[in-house]
Amino acid sequence: MNKPVYSIVVPLYNEEEVVQESYKRLKQVMEKADGPYEIIFINDGSKDATPQLVAQLVTAGPTLRFISFSRNFGHQPAITAGMDYAGGDAIIIIDADLQDPPEVMLEMMQKWRQGYDVVYGKRMRRKGETFFKKLTSTLYYRVLRSMTNVDIPVDVGDFRLIDRKVCNALKSMPEKNRYMRGMVSWVGFNQTAVEYVRDERFAGETKYPLRKMIKLAVDGITAFSYKPLKFATSIGFVVSSLSFLYLLFILFQKIFTNQAVVGWASTVAILLFSQGIVMMILGVMGEYIGRVFEESKNRPIYLVKESMGFHHEPNEE
């Protein structure tokens, strides 16, 4: 079999309702591509029939590859595994839910042929999503960009094409808590966007509810910015200064006036406020310490239970 020019990386988690249609759409699009390809499905510890369905597809599809994790490790480790196993000169990352239209990949390939090393999909409109989902997503990207030290494009997810040299650069980065969008922006190279309208999910439920979006935002901020620590330091300084000024005011009242202290309500309120600030600062510090702890254990990012359809080992050039 010819070495693939394109490797399509598709993370899967409980996608039994969509995986067959996803493979069909991807295959239809890639048959129009200007070179040989492979499609890599990564089962991220699915609890449904996803791995069985993909295994059946592999037997009938010579271009389909399959990786199955020993448990659920997460979306970003699944993308990492796909890049580790990919043999193509260009790697395209796309979710299986068909919200990101596979047809856009052809435009990405054209941009890559023009010399761009990274071509990311930029969402111009999002179909089938609630107002709350759209609002939180919009805020998420803006807050993330303002808080990080890396120029991460707004309204851009993991749907993108990366050149082989970009993939190798990402694989050389040793961190365990991976935020791929930020890492791709950090490595640089020649990047551009392809604009598209995001479709409704073909079937099933979103794998990124609000809780996971918040976690992803925290991962992105703590991985690429010290601003929360600086903000915590500033807050601590302001609260300490206000407390000191209030102490001077109390001493002034005590020494130079006859006013009596009326109750403890104000004192208790100030104590509760200052303690809340302290707990917030400790929480911010805990996020960074937790990341250091996770990195220090040096455990693998993921564990593979089985793989099918590959003719090479991961990281093999």
Give phi and psi for 124, each to the nearest 5. -95, -30
pTM above 0.75, yes or no: no
Provide mean pLDDT across the span 99-111.
89
Tokens of 299: 């455990």
Neighbour-count burial of 42, counting CB atoms closer than 10 A to its CB (0-12 exposed, 13-18 middle, 19+ buried): buried
For residue 38, the cross-strand partners are 7
pLDDT tens for each residue of 4-34: 889 999 999 888 888 888 888 888 888 888 8
Phi/psi at 108 (5° precision): -60, -40
Q: For residue range 131-157, list pLDDT tens digits in order.
A: 666 676 667 667 666 666 677 777 777
For the segment 283-292, what is each residue's pLDDT rounded down to a tens digit? 677 777 777 7
Q: How far apart are CA 266 and CA 66, in angstroms?
A: 63
64 forms beta bridges with 39
Edge-to-edge order in the sheet of strand 156-163: 191-198, 118-126, 156-163, 90-93, 6-12, 37-43, 64-69, 304-308
Q: Which of 59-68, 204-213, 239-248 has the highest mean pLDDT?
A: 59-68
Question: Amino acid identity, residue 257?
Answer: T
d(Cα 151, Cα 26) in Å, to the nearest integer? Answer: 30
Segment 224-245 mean pLDDT: 66
Q: What are phi and psi of 180, to 5 degrees?
A: -60, -35
Contacts (Cβ under 8 Å, ≥6 apart) of 127: 197, 198, 199, 200
